[in-house]
Copies of this chain bind each other. A is one copy, B any other.
Amino acid sequence: MPPSRNKDAPAAVKVGAGKGGKAATINDIARLAGVSKKTVSRIINRSPLVREDTREKVEALMREVGYTPDPMARGLAFRKSFLIGMVYDNPTAQFIVNMQYGALDTLRDSGFELVVHPCDSRSPNYIDGVRRFVQQQKLHGVMLVPRVSEDQALADMLDEIGCRYVRIAAVAMDKPERMVVTHDHDGAAEVADYLQTLGHRDIALITGPADYRSAIERTQGFLGALERRGIVLPESRVVEAGYTFESGVAAAEKLLAAKKRPTAIFCGNDEMAAGVYRAALRSGIQIPQQLSVVGYDDSPLASRLWPPLTSVRRDTRDTGRMAAAMLLQSQDGPRPMASVRPHLVIRDSCQPPE
């Protein structure tokens, strides 16, 4: 046949992803590769039912043309978007940002994107808000960040509407394939061991709110480890506060007003530890000479304080990475839960008691 038959062949106009021209579609690829769109679809979706040389030819073409399947078209057909939601009710900016970084680390080049949904878990209809968010966008899955991750009603709702989720929490509270556990219990226990080893016996604890699982775990981990080492704190040495700077100041003032002061204070987070610094400064108490202080989070604040604060680091970015990875896993069956281990970062806020 003469070359004129080319009229029947694909127009072969190369359509790059950039500039003025429209982006290539699955039809363009199919036409240019001389296969059906279904075959291209199989390749996009990594189906094994494609001959190896066909796959290679088409993949080369897709690269050359710069083709990426349209997530909205795929989403419409799949009845499911290529979006991962991150739901949180957490005022700690660094924590949230790190979690986002981590999630995006694993989402990069996966075709998925991260859509954020901060909310107010004290608001009566926040669960409805999350439901609308999930259903309207047909989210592929959601990451539940503390403290909303602890809300069983939220998890139940997601389960009911068939939305995949992963909970990030201090301790396992769901099926393992839905959990990233941060083991706050162990982080706090490490603090207890450290203070005991330094020689502290009269130790105080400022806890977070008792309805936060992280606060409970840190408290139990700390007290439990102390007990194992023969130290039992009297009730007067344990003060509940609100995870905030101001509540930390108030709790510290109470503790430091006692006739006999503790020689060390462990705080449920760094913000409250900063509050202890403030109260100590007001009372003319030297840290660490007269008072050792330990925080939790290893926030940027920890190294800005003077003396630099010893604190428990949690690798939040890694946590985010893991949570997103679990959401992308294709199989739905039971898998082991993910774990991220906290560890103590020793700075200059502790020394042996005088």
Contacts and interface: CB of A to CB of B under 8 A. Distances in A.
A137 B113 contact: yes
Interface string A18-51: 1100010000000000000000000000000000
B71 A137 contact: yes
A131 B304 contact: no
A138 interface: yes
Contacts of A11: none
B115 A161 contact: no
Contacts of A83: 113, 115
Q: Is the interface of A mostly helix, strand, loop or mixed?
A: helix
A127 to B, nearest CB: 11
Nearest to A68: B136
A153 interface: no
Interface stretch (A72-80, A225-233, A260-268): A72-80
Interface stretch (A91-99, A329-337, A343-351): A91-99
A17 interface: yes
A281 B348 CA distance: 15
A302 to B, nearest CB: 11
Interface in A256-280: 274, 277-278
A256 B305 CA distance: 20
A115 B118 contact: no
A277 B281 CA distance: 15
B18 A161 contact: yes
Contacts of A138: 70, 72
Interface string A273-307: 01001100100000000000000000011011110
B118 A101 contact: yes
A198 to B, nearest CB: 24
Contacts of A111: 136
A245 interface: yes
A100 interface: yes
Given A17-B135, A136-B71, A245 B23 contact: no
A219 interface: no
Contacts of A18: 131, 135, 160-161
A116 B104 contact: yes
Contacts of A76: 70, 72-73, 76
Contacts of A301: 300-301, 304
A81 interface: yes
Contact of A97 (B75, B81, B93, B104): B93
Given A68-B136, A111-B136, A301-B301, 19 more contacts: A17-B135, A18-B161, A19-B161, A68-B132, A71-B137, A72-B76, A73-B76, A83-B113, A83-B115, A93-B94, A93-B96, A97-B97, A100-B118, A104-B116, A104-B118, A245-B304, A281-B306, A300-B301, A304-B304
Interface of A: 17-19, 23, 68, 70-73, 75-76, 81, 83, 93-94, 96-98, 100-101, 104, 111, 113-118, 131-133, 135-138, 160-161, 245, 274, 277-278, 281, 300-301, 303-306
26 contacts: A17-B131, A17-B135, A18-B131, A18-B135, A19-B160, A68-B132, A70-B138, A71-B136, A71-B137, A72-B72, A72-B75, A72-B76, A73-B76, A93-B94, A93-B96, A101-B118, A113-B133, A113-B137, A115-B115, A245-B303, A245-B304, A274-B304, A278-B306, A300-B301, A301-B301, A301-B304
